[in-house]
A = this chain, B = another copy of it.
Amino acid sequence: MSVSEAPRVLVIGAGAVGSFYGAILKRAGCSVSVVLRSDYDAVAADGFVIDSPLGDLSYRPEHVHHVDDIHSGSAQSAPDIILLCVKILSTADRVALLRPWVGPHTRIALIENGIDIESALAAAYADNPLLSCVAFIATSRVAPGHIQHSAYGRLVMGTFPHGIDANCRELADLFEAGGIRVKRSDDIVAERWKKCVWNAALNPLAVLADGADTETMLDAPGGEQLVRELMREVCAVAAAAGYPLDADRVIDGNIEGTRNMPGFRNSMAQDYLNGRGIELDAILGNVIAIAQRRGVPVPRLQTVYVTLRMRGF
């Protein structure tokens, strides 16, 4: 990525999250193209409309590709940077999804939720730099190609599996030039575990509780205690995986932070209530798989997970 030339960015999965971070890189001077499925027609015709507290982030991508189009990339046409922002569903083969687009010098950056979501990509594209990002953002798709960014947007970013290399620094600089805050972390997997404490405990539980909001869950008889115990199980798995957290402090902080907000439906609860797929394995199943490999008992997490599998998720 030379300074003289605008980096070519391809956002794969340009939904509410991907199109927002594409807009940020566009503001930083990048050339931004996208790969879409459901909103292809709307975006190909009119580009993205993005309302944001940062201002009007609407933009027209350089190229709009449909995910099912046959495409054979060449080293010349391959993007400098891929932002992979798809939901991680059991039906999605992300390695195959990237295949047509990855060139020999393409940096791959994930902005996705979950634990242990990098290793398959790292193995398949061992020669490409892999950056892993955790997004803290409130954004939603209100209509085809129409995104409402409500709040936040901060990224935590690192090189996978650890460290902060030049690729990471350059991409972080671009995001900051586009107007968002970025924390560079030399231990991004630890950051994922930290976020996972909340997500693995409260996201699937909200689906099992039929889309209940955070207040309903915490205020039910025994609710806060169960949530704390689920979080403690996640902390135990993190520690066994080599990422010890200060469990008491993390759990107290999570509960307090959640109680300080008005009750809200988390993203998985919203996906569930809107009939969309849920990222059950990325958020919880992978945690349980690691727990089993390491011999960590997670009876509560497993009860939630298996019961959701009984419901067909």
Contact = CB atoms under 8 A, between A and B. Distances in A.
Contacts of A208: 208, 307
Interface stretch (A57-65, A70-78, A212-220): A212-220
Nearest to A299: B299
Interface stretch (A22-30, A138-146, A222-230, A243-251): A222-230
Contacts of A212: 310-311
Interface string A99-125: 000000000000000000000000000
A310 B223 contact: yes
Given A208-B208, A229-B299, A299-B229, A307 B310 contact: no
Interface string A6-34: 00000000000000000000000000000
Contacts of A209: 307, 310-311
A310 B216 contact: yes
A302 interface: yes
Interface in A193-236: 205, 208-210, 212, 216-217, 220-223, 225-226, 229-230
Contacts of A300: 299-300, 302-303
A131 interface: no
A135 interface: no
Given A222-B309, A226-B302, 15 more contacts: A205-B307, A208-B208, A209-B307, A209-B310, A210-B311, A212-B310, A221-B309, A222-B305, A223-B309, A223-B310, A225-B306, A226-B306, A229-B299, A230-B303, A303-B303
17 contacts: A212-B311, A216-B310, A217-B310, A220-B309, A220-B310, A221-B306, A221-B309, A222-B302, A222-B306, A223-B310, A226-B303, A230-B303, A299-B299, A299-B300, A300-B302, A300-B303, A304-B307
Interface of A: 205, 208-210, 212, 216-217, 220-223, 225-226, 229-230, 299-300, 302-307, 309-311
